[in-house]
Structures are given as structure tokens and as C-alpha cells.
Amino acid sequence: MIALAIENLTHDFGGLRAVDGVTLTIPVGERRVILGPNGAGKTTLFNLVTGLFSPFSGAIRLFDHDITALAPYQRARLGLGRTFQVTTLFPRLTVLESVRLAVQGADRARFSLFRPFASTRRLSQQAEALLAEWNLTDRRAVPTRELSYGEQRQVELLLALAGRPRVLLLDEPTAGLSAAEAATVVAMIKRFPPDVTVLLIEHDMDVAFTLADRISVLHQGRVLAEGTRDEVHADVRVKEIYLGSQV
Amino acid sequence: MIRALGTTVGALALGLLPLALRSYQLGLLTKMLILAIFAMSLNLILGYGGLPSMGHAAYFGIAGYTVALLARGGLTHFGLELGAGIIAAALTAALFGLLALRTQGAYLLMITLALAQVLWGIAFGWRSVTGGDDGLPGIPRPVTGLLWSVGDGVRFYYLVLVVFAVAMALLWLVVRSPFGRALVGIRESERRMEVLGYNTWAHKYVAFVIAGALAGVAGILFVYDNRFVSPAYLSVVLSATGLIMVILGGAGTLLGPALGAAAIVFLENIISAQTQRWPLVLGLIYVVVTLFAPAGLLGLRWRRRATRPS
């Protein structure tokens, strides 16, 4: 079964074509890494898929739904989660409060005005359980802005996961992390439920090749190459854009 | 535990104070409570939702004019007046929200200011209905029912106190509900909330309308208190004063804005007796607070607790 199908997606910024006829088909449970140099259109592609930008043309399907015209929150409710390249947390809320909001986003009590106690207790229990599962319980009462950068990236992943997504888009989860911190984050991603489909933007080749089932290489808004890690590794064009055409 | 004790002591004090105060002082306390409701309503959107408004007096004033016009038309039933005033305020907020909530930050501040100024202009210019600059004097206090007339100062104070307590309880429920927590999440990061599945616009809009309705309640009580309504009730000065009350007391806290309102009313009373320059002093207070206590009076207390060596 296909989890996410992107068909011929195109987006312009003024005169610049940032995403140029991208087509990607990702089966359920796959770990797909999107590789590409700066300006290849990777983050723009994620913003189109999650609905923060509207595409100029093309279509996006999430399982059985055409989500091309849906608002970001509607896509999220259909099971689309994401993290951001620039850490996007709730600076003054604690880790527990943040995770509880993420749990609540996928819960029917989302909009409840006058049901403080029963629903709050259920949401808190779910949030506590997630913190315990991902070894963050001892950081539960810390405001997220006071966490180390590595911990913030972990919380960012946890928030995305707490919404119980079926498809998860991770925008450079290890960017700016030390080797040890990156290893923690990679281990976290490896522990994600196997039925969650993961799309991952990654600059670090080692991380990319560790996590990926398949790799798509984006260059100047187009899919340049796609295949297993060995196929992509052997691709001459990929070497050219990463190492320069003189090699 | 300490909080419960504080609430009890506070409630007792507010309940018993009329026995100890002279009527002028009681009038001041009444005004504090009414403007506290106004500040608390603004705090719901500013402090919890992160939505600054420079036009919050619009709902205060529109409810005030609604009640004044009804009362002058001969309707003095409290429930009907209250209901009509709240509906007028909520509808105004619903309309303004549709227009204003497309923007945020400084732009939201400006568009709410502009919208409120439209109402102010109407109240100022439409002399045959609103009395223009002179306002509408001689508004009678309402008939509340069989047992209770609220004509005199003490009884009116208790009416205001009851409304204040209900407003406080209602806000407590709202900010602790899933809705209220989501509102805080939107203040902290709207984009994150969107991708977590929240219809952030709907949350902001509902908060905006609730805040408008509650500001209307304060406006109604203020008209009863003064037996008078004028364009000043819709003015940018009142909107700005509300903002300063919230920020002085502590935005995003339940009690802070009420304390801020009490402090401003108290200071205005003292300083206005000495000089004509009250707005200047108010501005200075604002500058000092934003420089030295950006989290407000309640924030000061917390910061001291946080920095105390353990």
C-alpha cells in the first residue's frame, strides 16, 4: 500500500522554480531519505506536503485522501506529522506540557472548553507514558527553551511522534548535533514503530545511509536519482552534484 | 494549599470590606473590580493567546451603549439588559475577529485600533442617538428581581463582586481546559500547533469572541456604576489602559490583570488629585514595567523565587 504519493508537484518563489515536477511514491513503513545540496527544494517539498505552502501544480495523496487542498491541521488529523529544520517547540512550556499538547492534538478533547479534569488526566497519563518510553521523564518539568540543543531535537521528534502520525516528515533531525547527540537521535528514529512511514531530509551521508531503505536525490527542484543506498552511491550524477563535475 | 488559602482570604476580604470602607472608598473598590473584569478579558487573548489588541474598549463600549439605550428606552430588567449587552459585545467581537485575525503582532494591534476607532467615531458623531461627546447621562441602575435592588453603593458593590467571581471562575475553567492549553500552545508556536492538528484560527477566534463578550460585561457594569456612558468608553485611551493593566499585573496569569487593574485605578485616583498629567504618569509606568518587570508584578514574585539559592 502507498502511504504518500506526490505527483508532479511544482512550486515557484517569484521567478524561481524551487520544486519542479517532483514525483515520489512511498510505500507504507518505508524509510525514505531525501538527499540533495542546499537549495535543492527539500524543505520546500516538505512545506508543500504538510500544507504550509500551496503548490503551483501537482497533487499529493496520503493513503486514500487527496490532501492537495487541505489546511495543515486537516492533513495532520489524517496522520501527517513533521519536525522542522529550525527547532520549533513551545519555548516557555515544559517538556510534559508540550508533549501533552501534542497528544491532545490527536485527541477528541482537542477543542473542549469546559472539561478540564477527566480529559486532562487522560492526556497527562498518555504524555507521561511517552516520556517514560523515550527516556525523557527526568526532563519533564524543564521548560523546553532551557533544554540542551540535543534534547530539544529529541523533544521535537517526540512531539511529532506523540500525534500518532502514519507518515512522518523529518527535516534534518541531526543538523547541528554532536556525533554523540546525533547517535541518540538516530537510535530514536530507528525505534519508531515499523508501520510509520518516514521521510527524512538529511545532509549527513552516514546518517542517511544508516537509516534509509531507499534514497531520492533532489537537485534544482527535480528528482535526479532514486534507488537503494548502493544504487545511489554508485550514481555518477550524484557524485557530480556533491563533489563537482571535475572529479 | 497556599493558593487555596490565598483565595479564601482574598474572597473574605472582598466580601467584608464594605463594612469597613467609606462610600467613596467603596466606589473606588467597585471600579477596581469592574476594570479588573475588563483587564482579565483582554488577558485571555493577550496573555494566553498572544493576540495583542488595541481596540478592546470597543466591546466594553458597545455593550455599555446598548444597555444605556435600552435603559433610556424604559427597559430596566437586569437579565435582559445584561443579555443584550453581552450579545452586542460578542457580535462585535465576532465581526472584528473575522477582519483582524488575519494578521498578528503589530498589525493586529493596528487593525483592532482602527476598528475600535470606527465605533468611537460613530458614538462621537451620531448625536441624535448617542448624545455625541456629551454621552448619555442618567442611566438608572437595573431592577435585578424581587429581593434585591442594587441602587445603593453597597448592594451594587456586591453585585459587581458576584459578577467578578463568576468571571474569574469561568476564566479559570477556560484556561485550564484543553482549549485553554491549546491557546497557550498557539501563543508559543502557532506553526507547531498547526502541524499537530490544531485549527489554530478557530481557537483564536473563539478566544477573541469570549474576550469580547466578557469585556462587554465589564462595560455594562461600568455604565451602571457611573449611570453614564460616553465615547470615552470606546476610546483608545481605555484600550491602552487595559493593555497596561494586563502587562503591569502579569500577562498570562489568572490573577495578574486584576491586580494590575487595581493598581492602576488606585494610582490614577491618587495622582489625578495632584496633577493633570495622569496619562504621562501612566506612560512612564508602562516604560518602567516593560524595562524592569516584563513579566509583571506576579512575574516579579516568581522570578525572585526562581533565583533564590537552594
ipTM associated with this complex: 0.88
Is there a contact between A76 and A105 (Cβ–Cβ < 8 Å)?
yes
- Is A104 within 8 Å of B178 when comparing Cβ atoms? yes
- Provide φ and ψ at B23, rounded to 5°: -65, -35
- Provide φ and ψ at B137, rounded to 5°: -85, 170
Q: Which residue has the higher pLDDT, A12 or B299?
A: A12
Name the percent of chain B lying above pLDDT 70.
93
Rounded to an integer, what distance in angstroms lies between the CA atom of residue A134 and that of residue A136?
A: 6
Is B25 at the interface with chain A, CB within 8 A? no
Rounded to an integer, what distance in angstroms lies between the CA atom of residue A77 and that of residue B198?
A: 8
Give the C-alpha distances (Å, rounded to integers) separating B83 from B70, B182, B214.
11, 28, 12
State which amino acid sits at residue A210.
Answer: T
Residues 6+ apart with CB under 8 A from A242: A37
How many angstroms separate the CA of residue A67 from the nearest CA in chain B?
Answer: 14
Is B178 at the interface with chain A, CB within 8 A? yes
Cell, residue B212: 469580547
Residue B303 pLDDT greater than 80, yes or no = no
> In which element (H, E) is residue B15 found?
helix B2-20
How many angstroms separate the CA of residue B179 from the nearest CA in chain A?
Answer: 5
Residue A217 pLDDT greater than 70, yes or no = yes
Is B194 at the interface with chain A, CB within 8 A? yes
Highest mean predicted confidence (pLDDT) among A207-211, B90-94, B255-259, B302-306: B90-94
Least confident span in B116-125, B217-226, B272-281:
B272-281
Rounded to an integer, what distance in angstroms lies between the CA atom of residue B281 and that of residue B113?
A: 22
Residue B145 pLDDT greater than 60, yes or no = no
Is there a contact between A104 and A110 (Cβ–Cβ < 8 Å)?
yes
Query: Is residue B83 one of the residues assigned to a domain?
Result: yes
Is B191 at the interface with chain A, CB within 8 A? yes
Cβ count near B37 (within 10 Å): 29
By C-alpha distance, which of B35, B26, B143, B137 is closest to B82? Answer: B143
Closest residue, chain A, to B174 (C-alpha): A113
Least confident span in A239-243, B153-157, B199-203, B218-222:
A239-243
Residue B290 pLDDT greater than 80, yes or no = yes
Q: Which residue has the higher pLDDT, B78 or B110?
A: B110
- Provide φ and ψ at A82, rounded to 5°: -155, 160
Least confident span in A144-158, A198-212, B95-109, B213-227:
A198-212
Nearest 5°: the CA angle A132, A136, A138 is 95
Residue A114 pLDDT greater than 70, yes or no = no
- Tell me, what's the pLDDT at B310? 35
Rounded to an integer, what distance in angstroms lies between the CA atom of residue A114 and that of residue B36?
A: 23
Mean pLDDT, chain A, integer: 88
Query: Is residue B226 one of the residues assigned to a domain?
Result: yes
Closest residue, chain A, to B175 (C-alpha): A113
pLDDT 10s digits, A71-106: 999 999 999 999 998 889 999 999 999 999 999 988
Residue B308 pLDDT greater than 50, yes or no = no
| Domain of B156, in residue numbers | 23-236
DSSP structure string for A139-156: GTTSBGGGS-HHHHHHHH
- Tell me, what's the pLDDT at B306? 47
- Tell me, what's the pLDDT at A122? 84
Is B301 at the interface with chain A, CB within 8 A? no
- Tell me, what's the pLDDT at B146? 46
- Is B192 within 8 Å of A113 when comparing Cβ atoms? no
pLDDT 10s digits, B13-68: 888 888 888 888 899 999 999 999 999 999 999 999 999 999 999 999 999 999 99
Is there a contact between A37 and A241 (Cβ–Cβ < 8 Å)?
yes
- Tell me, what's the pLDDT at B237? 92
Query: Is residue B54 one of the residues assigned to a domain?
Result: yes
Is there a contact between B56 and B214 (Cβ–Cβ < 8 Å)?
no
Query: Could you tell me how many CB contacts below 8 A there are between chain A and chain B?
Result: 98
Rounded to an integer, what distance in angstroms lies between the CA atom of residue B246 and that of residue B38?
A: 10
pLDDT category, B245, cuts 50, 70, 90?
A: very high
- Tell me, what's the pLDDT at A247? 44
Rounded to an integer, what distance in angstroms lies between the CA atom of residue B91 and that of residue B233?
A: 18
By C-alpha distance, which of A1, A21, A26 is closest to A10? Answer: A21
Which candidate in B196, B209, B253, B302 is best for mutational testing of the A interface (most A CBs within 10 A)? B196
A89 burial via Cβ count (<10 Å: 0-12, 13-18, 19+): buried
Sheet order of strands, A222-227 included: A80-82, A167-171, A197-201, A31-35, A214-219, A222-227
Q: What is the 3-state secondary structure (H, E, C) of B66-134?
A: HHHHHHHCCCCEHHHHHHHHHHHHHHHHHHHHHHHCCCCCHHHHHHHHHHHHHHHHHHHHCHHHHCHHH
Q: Which residue has the higher pLDDT, B297 or B237?
A: B237
Rounded to an integer, what distance in angstroms lies between the CA atom of residue A230 and that of residue A234?
A: 6
Q: What is the mean pLDDT of residues A178-202?
A: 91
Q: What is the mean pLDDT of residues A8-19?
A: 87
Which residue is associated with the grid cell 435592588?
B149
Query: Is residue B267 one of the residues assigned to a domain?
Result: no
How many angstroms separate the CA of residue B227 from the nearest CA in chain A?
Answer: 35
How many angstroms separate the CA of residue B166 from the nearest CA in chain A?
Answer: 14
Nearest to B177 among A92, A107, A116 (CB): A116
Fold classification of A2-89+164-243 (topology level):
Rossmann fold (3.40.50)
pLDDT category, B144, cuts 50, 70, 90?
A: low
- Is A104 within 8 Å of B194 when comparing Cβ atoms? no
Cell, residue B294: 516584563
Least confident span in A16-20, B65-69, B182-186:
A16-20
Residue B143 pLDDT greater than 80, yes or no = no
3-state secondary structure of A226: strand
Rounded to an integer, what distance in angstroms lies between the CA atom of residue B295 and that of residue B292?
A: 9
pLDDT category, B293, cuts 50, 70, 90?
A: confident
Which candidate in A70, A96, A113, A171 is best for mutational testing of the B interface (most B CBs within 10 A)? A113
Q: Which residues are registered as beta bridge partners of B228?
A: B137
Mean pLDDT, chain B, integer: 88
Nearest 5°: the CA angle B242, B246, B247 is 115
pTM (two decimals): 0.90
Least confident span in A206-215, B98-107, B145-154, B173-182:
B145-154
Give the C-alpha distances (Å, rounded to integers) separating B205 from A70, B102, B175, B234.
20, 10, 15, 21
Rounded to an integer, what distance in angstroms lies between the CA atom of residue B231 and that of residue B290?
A: 29
- Tell me, what's the pLDDT at B302? 55
Is B196 at the interface with chain A, CB within 8 A? yes
Chain B residues close to A114, C-beta within 8 Å: 173-174, 177
pLDDT 10s digits, A124-180: 899 999 999 998 999 989 999 999 999 999 999 999 999 889 999 999 998 888 889
* Count, residues in chain A: 247
Rounded to an integer, what distance in angstroms lies between the CA atom of residue B90 and that of residue A220?
A: 51
Is there a contact between A199 and A29 (Cβ–Cβ < 8 Å)?
no
Alpha helices in chain A (DSSP H): 42-50, 72-77, 95-105, 116-133, 149-162, 179-190, 205-211, 229-234, 236-243
Give the total number of structural domains in chain B. Answer: 1
Which residue is associated with the grid cell 524561481?
A16
- Is A123 within 8 Å of B184 when comparing Cβ atoms? no
